Amino acid sequence: MSDADLENDVSALCRKKIKISQDSENGVSNDQLKLKDFIPEKTLNNNTSKKIVCIQGKFKDKSGVALILFEKNAFKDEDLNKSNGGYFTQDTKLVTYFQNDIYGNYECYPPSSLNGVKTTIIYPATEKHIAKYSAQTVHLIAETPELYQKLTLPFIQKEQFHLQWVYNILEGKSEQERIIYDNKCEKGGFVLLPDLKWDGLTKETLYLLAIVQQRGIKSLRDLDASHLPLLKKIRDEGKKVIFEKYGLPGSQLRIYFHYQPSFYHLHIHFTYLRHEAPGIYAEKAHLLESVISNLEMMGDYYKKATLPFTIREMDNIFNVYETNGHLQRIKPNIENIELIDK
């Protein structure tokens, strides 16, 4: 997972990021991927509210499935100030749809430098990636500690995404130019870097990940009172770094875990409070402050708690819960479809 070089024929402000999912057996390299070589085959999801689309296809003369995610960028405050040019210049064109009294409806064509689309490439994509980014029926399961031990944990141990890309970051082998803070303490350390969903530039959509150095902590379920110093250090040092670098105080940050997480190496999300980031709903997000408070009250809280989480019907873990009688597959209904929100 790393930043890709900018395409020669794209404006310098149109940043493209490539998520590397390396296949060591096939020796696949993403260095030369070009959008002009992409052959679309299927639209997995078109989220019109979040302005995100995921397209499945392949690259010319390359084996394996590829996913392309296009996402409209957020408006930047500096582009909305006439003194900085932005949208309010002679280079911005308006095409009139209609005018009626004081109301006018237009199509706006701003300068090309403002038209960048955040692009993520996942190649080679696995069936897990395809399921993750596809629109599908979603269910809510209340996971008791017994269900975690009997069904969820064995599934995680068998089928989770590989973590080599995480270890590459922690060991200094990749993405070092993206890291904004690195506490190298083996047990209490962590790195802080932009999430794949963030372009690293637009404060309005700030999204950072703190990834712990210590291995073996998969998720909330593994946390106990012994991890409180680590959690508090991530909270305090993360807030300090973000304020110094981006000018956002801790009171304007949403700091939380996902459960279930998208990968099973403990990490914490830092987002701007005004940004409606993916996965902040009640069934997914657990605020860091609440986690710390729960562990202070009961050191083994997350080993005893019932934790709800959503399961989509294309997720392999759905089959585990369905086979054991805890879920039942239903016919697709537009009201049950979960759009890209991971």
Q: What was the pLDDT predicted at 329?
A: 87
How much is the average pLDDT of 108-135? 88
Is residue 133's pLDDT more than 80? yes
Run of H or E including 231: helix 228-246
Q: What was the pLDDT predicted at 74?
A: 78
How much is the average pLDDT of 302-320? 93
Instruction: For the sheet with 181-183, list strands across it.
Output: 181-183, 190-194, 207-212, 267-272, 253-258, 285-287
Q: What are phi and psi of 336, to 5 degrees?
A: -100, 0
The backbone region for 279, taken as left when phi is positive above 0, alpha when psi lies in -120 to 50, beta otherwise, is left
Which pLDDT band holds residue 176 (cuts at 50, 70, 90)?
very high
Q: What was the pLDDT predicted at 332?
A: 54
Decide if 57 contacts 35 (C-beta within 8 A).
no
pLDDT in tens, 196-221: 888 888 888 999 999 999 999 999 99
Measure the CA–CA gap between 185 and 81, rounded to whole angstroms: 43
Is residue 23's pLDDT more than 80? no
Residues found in the chain? 342
Give 227 or 87, the one with higher predicted confidence: 227
User: What percent of the chain has pLDDT above 70?
Assistant: 86
Which pLDDT band holds residue 83 (cuts at 50, 70, 90)?
low
Q: What was the pLDDT predicted at 30?
A: 53
Is residue 289's pLDDT more than 90? yes
How much is the average pLDDT of 297-305? 98
Q: What was the pLDDT predicted at 20?
A: 37
pLDDT in tens, 242-266: 999 999 999 999 999 999 998 999 9
pTM greater than the 0.85 cutoff = no
Decide if 184 contacts 190 (C-beta within 8 A).
no
How much is the average pLDDT of 13-31? 39
Kindly tell me the burial class for residue 115, based on how many C-beta atoms sit within 10 Å of its own C-beta (0-12, 13-18, 19 or more). Answer: middle
DSSP 250: G
**Which amino acid is it at 300?**
D
User: What percent of the chain has pLDDT above 90?
Assistant: 61
Is residue 99's pLDDT more than 70? yes
The residues annotated as belonging to the active site are: 267
> In degrees, to the nearest 5, what angle opens at C-alpha 22 toward C-alphas 160 and 172?
90
Domains of the chain with CATH codes: 1-72+117-134 (3.30.200), 74-115 (no CATH), 135-338 (3.30.428.10)
Give 81 or 129, the one with higher predicted confidence: 129
